[in-house]
Amino acid sequence: MKNIKYIYIAILSVLVTSCSSFLDTMPDNRAEIDSSDKVRKLLVSAYPTNGYIMTNEVSSDNVDTSGPENPYTSKFVEQLYNWEDVTESNNESPTRIWGSCYLAIASANQALASIEELGEEDLQGARSEALLCRAYSHFVLVNMFAQHFSEANSSTDLGVYYMTAPETTLNPKYQRQSVLSNYKDIEKDILEGISLINQTKFDVPKYHFNDKAAYAFATRFFLYKGDMDAVIKYASLALGSNPETQTRDNKLLATYPTDAISKQFISPSLKANYLLMTAYSDLGLMFGPYYSNSKINHKAILASTETTMTNAPWGQYSRDLYYLFPRQYSGSNLDKVLSPKLPYLFEYTDAVAQTGYRRTVYAAFTADEVLLSRAEAYVRKGNYDAAVSDLNVWLKANVKNYTPMTEATLLNWIKDMPYYTPINPTPRKKLNPEFTVQEGKQEQLLQIILYARRIETIHTGLRWMDIKRYGIEVTRRVIESNRVVALGSTLTVRDKRLAIQLPAEVIAAGLEANPR
């Protein structure tokens, strides 16, 4: 059999660095993929190891800043917060995300080529995983580095380059495709991957695209695309006939000490965790009980007026409202309100010298997010009873003294609530989506679903995508002594800064930059 060779570091070099770097790295990063076992091992590297969470979360309205006297920040975080083009490079910078995703795509593509070459029937499960991995990394890239998908603009909005084969030429020339083209390719890969999902077998399923993870990915993809029927279809496949058995066991998590909850939150034993991913990351420090990045963070005024510490339709806020109540940390230059989701982990490369890498593990797809996605789809379809039913399942898993909500109770909470202003904040922000939302009941129930989603996805970066989907404006604020003392820039509907700028190296190599 002809030996099949992949050079994934070289492919990364083509995409991110210069031709000379490509020549420098190519000879030492080759492997022969000539067996089923090697294909499966290769797919371990088809998942990105540099995550989008930090970039998305700091770009969103889930953080405020304190004044210039607070030293606990970095130029990188400041650039993200102010929606500036990022010049700093670290494990969570756009440069690393871009490179990590294309490296994962390169591995997926080589696996697909090797599967074709080997022609072995037992590799169809591996083909499913490779297709889903390729779709996932492209999905991350297009949603970070482009405007959000819309029927009106996606045919002309700049997307990314969709790579479907291993690169074999020395100096290939790439061009950005449209967001619409990217979404068509992602959908094709997702659907083909799902068609083979019953043939996948994993030793540790929660770290691979198992069936529930695949359905959850499809749910999020179609939610962002705007296909509500498909959202309901794939969410229902993931959740099964009894969603209550799939949601996170927050009652159990609440029995652990605070410093252990984040590690238990990402346990593979929790049914709610459909797919877990690892990342080189400072997230455990930023959203942990440390001074690290305390200048720009999820602060008390934000939590108490918009997110986890607000009075909700399901109860007045107290530490007894939720099983996993938010932890508040305050002091000189310290103002954080955190939900324990992201563990701070350290991987030692030299135990004696105490050197290594900061890492975290995060739940990339969960039953709880899928459930709220389906609830949103039901509202968009006008099936309000089904939406309220799904919301009640989510509430039962999160609220201690749970009492089922009715449509009337929910609407009574939101209908007279004033819209958010930076000085007088509320959870209700004006929605400016590129699809139709009916005034009255539909808009009000969507506000409640988005409020629940914001609580559920705090610190995970997904709020940024909700901002892009719904055209929510964001104004930067300076907080001192738990009050707003100054206002900064405002991010408007379809603001050009909603598309994160491509890495400078990629632009220098010839890819068209995002307009500014």
Query: pLDDT band at 174, cuts 50/70/90?
Result: confident
What the block records as the tokens of 42 is 């290769």
Q: What is the mean pLDDT of the chain?
A: 93
Dist CA 364 CA 143 (whole Å): 15
DSSP per position, 450-500:
HHHHHHHTTTTTHHHHHHHHHT--EEEEEEETTEEEEEEEEE-TT-GGGSP
pLDDT score, position 173: 77
CB atoms inside a 10 Å sphere around CB 156: 10
What does the pLDDT average to over 41-69? 97
For residue 13, pLDDT over 50 is answered with no
CB neighbour list of residue 413: distance below 8 Å, 6 or more residues apart: 312, 313, 448
What is the enclosing helix (H) or strand (E) of 100? helix 94-118
Query: pLDDT band at 170, cuts 50/70/90?
Result: low
For residue 23, pLDDT over 90 is answered with no
pLDDT score, position 29: 44
331 CB-side CA count, 13 A: 7
Give the full edge-to-edge strand order of the sheet including 64-65. Answer: 296-297, 64-65, 474-480, 483-491
For residue 280, pLDDT over 50 is answered with yes
pLDDT score, position 167: 79
What does the pLDDT average to over 396-404? 97
Dist CA 343 CA 361 (whole Å): 7
For residue 460, pLDDT over 70 is answered with yes
What does the pLDDT average to over 162-184? 88
Dist CA 310 CA 317 (whole Å): 6
Query: pLDDT band at 26, cuts 50/70/90?
Result: very low
pLDDT score, position 171: 67
Which pLDDT tens digit goes with each residue over 286-331? 999 999 999 999 999 999 999 999 999 999 999 999 999 999 999 9
What does the pLDDT average to over 348-369? 95
Helix axes 384-398, 367-381, angle to 10 degrees: 160
In the chain, the amino acid numbered 156 is T
Dist CA 149 CA 230 (whole Å): 16
For residue 383, pLDDT over 80 is answered with yes
Query: pLDDT band at 34, cuts 50/70/90?
Result: confident
For residue 274, pLDDT over 60 is answered with yes
Report the share of the chain in percent with pLDDT over 70. Answer: 93
pLDDT score, position 33: 83
What the block records as the tokens of 112 is 């697909």
Report the share of the chain in percent with pLDDT over 90. Answer: 89
CB neighbour list of residue 513: distance below 8 Å, 6 or more residues apart: 501, 502, 507
What does the pLDDT average to over 338-355? 94
pLDDT score, position 120: 87
For residue 18, pLDDT over 50 is answered with no
Query: pLDDT band at 169, cuts 50/70/90?
Result: low
Residue corresponding to tokens 């996993």? 324
What the block records as the tokens of 323 is 């099983």
For residue 145, pLDDT over 90 is answered with yes
pLDDT score, position 31: 61
What the block records as the tokens of 494 is 């379809």
pLDDT score, position 10: 39
Residue corresponding to tokens 């749970």? 402
What does the pLDDT average to over 259-268? 97
What does the pLDDT average to over 49-61? 98
